[in-house]
Amino acid sequence: MANQTMPRSAEAGSPLTINGRRPSEYNPLPHRLAEGENATPLEVIGASASDKLVIIMVGLPGTGKTHIAKRICRFVDFFHDIPSQIFNTSEYRRKLFGAKIPASFFDPNNKEALEKRGKACEAALADLIDYMKQDGVRVGVYDATNSLRERRQEVMKILKDAGIKAKKIFLESICDDDEILDENFRKLEVSTPDYKDMDNEEAIADFKERRRHYLSSYKTLDECDGSFIRVVNSKTFEVHGIRGYLPLKVVHFCMHVHTMPRTFYLTRHGQSEYNLYGKIGGDSGLTDFGVEYSRRLAIFAKEEIATEMKINEKGEEKKRPCPARLWTSSLRRTKETAQFIEHNTIHYTWDNGETTDWVQFRPIARRNLDEIYAGTCDGMTYKEIETCFPEEFKRRQEDKLAYRYPRGKRVNNALLLNRIICFFLSCTYMHNNNVYFFSFFICQLCFLFVQ
């Protein structure tokens, strides 16, 4: 077939033909860029983040400070191409004095331990200063408890004396919800190197004792500390004196972050007709194999995704229904992959006390999750592209990330990335299980972001 394929006519405006067939013949089910909901990027950034920013974390152990810091850095690096780094004082403390340290080490009356902890803090802050002085970096996060107002003032003075002219904001995480704390203790904190190979209950007891030592002298942020963001149980947010493009981006992202675990299920659509013929793009339906995949996926969704294990009053583990969402792209192949999933209604009480009748897997199609548009090459095979557009084929092989098909879109296009920011923010704040159907590229983006 490839040997018989005719190259595109050299005349301007001439339609592309393959084996004498016009586009409507070789690509009967094209990918059309329709107008309407989600047809255009959901967010267009009209400024650049040139100012540097230092984020100083504040909060007791077990409040999710490090988790929030990591998510912020991942967000600004992944979507805004802003270099960032976290300087965690616990890591410096472990390097200097080891990981197996009892809770008494954090007793404010233990002067020897206090001096050692001070050295770890100084080392982390010194590295932060060196990092922020480099060209090209933008965000540095000083991850420590910073529980004393005097300590926070000292950090600000050290940064000023070092000539760090970056904007500085405090980010305080407060958690007084027993359910969230228990979850943090069991699934986050006890997995740190400090409690490796230690009995689970013993580790939790030690960690709670460590937290009590900090709590005895803890002072929350107020207006005297300057610009700050306060996050309370990932539900209540207080913002004071925040100005500027990048700090406001951080504020916006923080309002979507929480520490409770949930599961995302990513899947490609079942085999489509264009998959069978090796064509790219288009808007074809599923083959018989694709339909069979969708049937089996529906069974998995019902038995695994839409249920959770809970301990009842008798102390027994029982499966019960849990809310689950379903998002697809707007393309036919993804919708058909979800066609057999049941949409039962369950009665559910959310963590804020609100009770609702929830429709399981209510399908939501979003055009901003569609496959990258292949432009002129939509509906062609790679062999046909190589024959008709040899230079384009070569360029794509050399750099698939930066390449854009003629009249199409490319992967690292700023508008494209910002088009899916809202999707990722939605994933971040959701508390329930979610299943998503879309193209291989979008699945790759999701996987890369959560790494």
**Enzyme catalytic residues:** 143, 175, 269, 371
The phi, psi pair for 238, rounded to 5°, reads -125, 130
Contacts of 116 (CB under 8 A, 6+ apart): 93, 96, 97, 105
Count CB-CB contacts under 10 A for residue 432. Answer: 16
CB 280 within 8 A of CB 290: no
The token duo for 182 is 């228990």
As a residue count, the chain comes to 451
Between CA 161 and CA 155 the distance in angstroms is 10
DSSP 302: I
CA–CA distances in Å: residue 432 to residues 67, 164, 238, 243: 19, 42, 25, 33
Question: Could you give the angle at which helices 65-80 and 421-429 cross, rounded to 10 degrees?
Answer: 170
Between CA 18 and CA 1 the distance in angstroms is 9
The token duo for 390 is 């040899």
Between CA 196 and CA 291 the distance in angstroms is 47
Where are the alpha helices (H) located in 188-321, listed in sequence order? 200-215, 245-254, 273-277, 288-300
The token duo for 39 is 């047809």
What is the edge-to-edge ordering of all strands in the sheet holding 363-365? 264-268, 433-438, 324-328, 363-365
Look at residues 442, 445, 436 and name the one whose alpha carbon lies nearest to residue 335.
436
CA 193 remoteness from chain centre: 25
**∠ CA 244-248-250 to the nearest 5 degrees?**
130
Query: 3-state DSSP call for residue 170?
Result: strand
Between CA 436 and CA 442 the distance in angstroms is 10
